[in-house]
Amino acid sequence: MVASETAKQSIIRRNYDPQAFVVTRYQDARSAIKAHLSDLTRSQNPLNEAVRMFEQRAIDPAESDTRQDDARQSIEVLNALRGMGNQLGRFQFHDTAHSQPKLVLAGVEISVRADLWVYGEHRGQEQIGGAIFRMTQDDGGRRDDMGRYVATMLRMTLDQNNPTNRAPANRLCMAVDVRHGEVFAAPNSNARRMNDLESACRVIHALWGQV
């Protein structure tokens, strides 16, 4: 949604003809964040234990350069999360299943995997949203727009595949930019973004295998 046309075609090409498996960064940091936030007491133990592990990994000569760098970056991410108490403290986070149904738009399957479910209540109605944690270091000027598109996809995913009897709520669907300490929720007026996503998927469906 925020990429150039050339970049969009490149993305389609890469996904049509995927390359060799690439190690995902921040996996261990993500697990520690999920354990911390889904704990009702918000225990610091998962974060503290993870930092100690990363400190050892960062200086372990047996580890690859990539693993050592991931460890150093993960420590920065966990320290940044500690400073987000005001933004995240009011939300009730719950663990998610490892396997989650895909979002289907215009015949295109999209993997939108919530890191945690977010529970809330409004006027007696039990509600649900989801959170995705973004940990990469990106100082680009369109982080907020990208974050709101991600949050919108979470809302659309819950409309199709709600794991509970709770009502999906935009305010509880969020992309959490941990590095910058910001939370981007799905806007209440979201029709444009939803239409943008569906239009993009129609283009992907039409171009699949042709770029």
**Would you place residue 210 in the very low, low, confident or very high pLDDT band (cuts 50, 70, 90)?**
low
* CB under 8 A, 24+ apart: contacts of 146-150: 146/1, 146/2, 146/175, 147/175, 147/177, 147/182, 147/184, 148/175, 148/184, 148/185, 148/186, 148/187, 148/193, 149/1, 149/2, 149/193, 149/196, 149/197, 150/175, 150/184
pLDDT at 1: 52
Count the Cβ atoms, other than its own, within 10 Å of residue 78: 23
Region 46-73: what's the mean pLDDT? 97
pLDDT at 133: 96
**Would you place residue 143 in the very low, low, confident or very high pLDDT band (cuts 50, 70, 90)?**
confident
pLDDT at 169: 97
137 vs 44, residue with greater confidence? 44
User: CB within 8 A of 61, min separation 6: which ones?
Assistant: none
pLDDT at 136: 80
pLDDT at 62: 97
Specify the pTM: 0.84
Q: pLDDT for 165-205, tens place per residue?
A: 999 999 999 999 999 999 999 999 888 888 888 888 888 87
Strand partners, 136: none
Q: Both tokens of residue 77? A: 């991410």
**Would you place residue 11 in the very low, low, confident or very high pLDDT band (cuts 50, 70, 90)?**
very low
Region 114-129: what's the mean pLDDT? 97
Model confidence at 127: pLDDT above 70: yes
Q: pLDDT for 95-106, tens place per residue?
A: 999 899 999 998
pLDDT at 12: 43
pLDDT at 21: 46
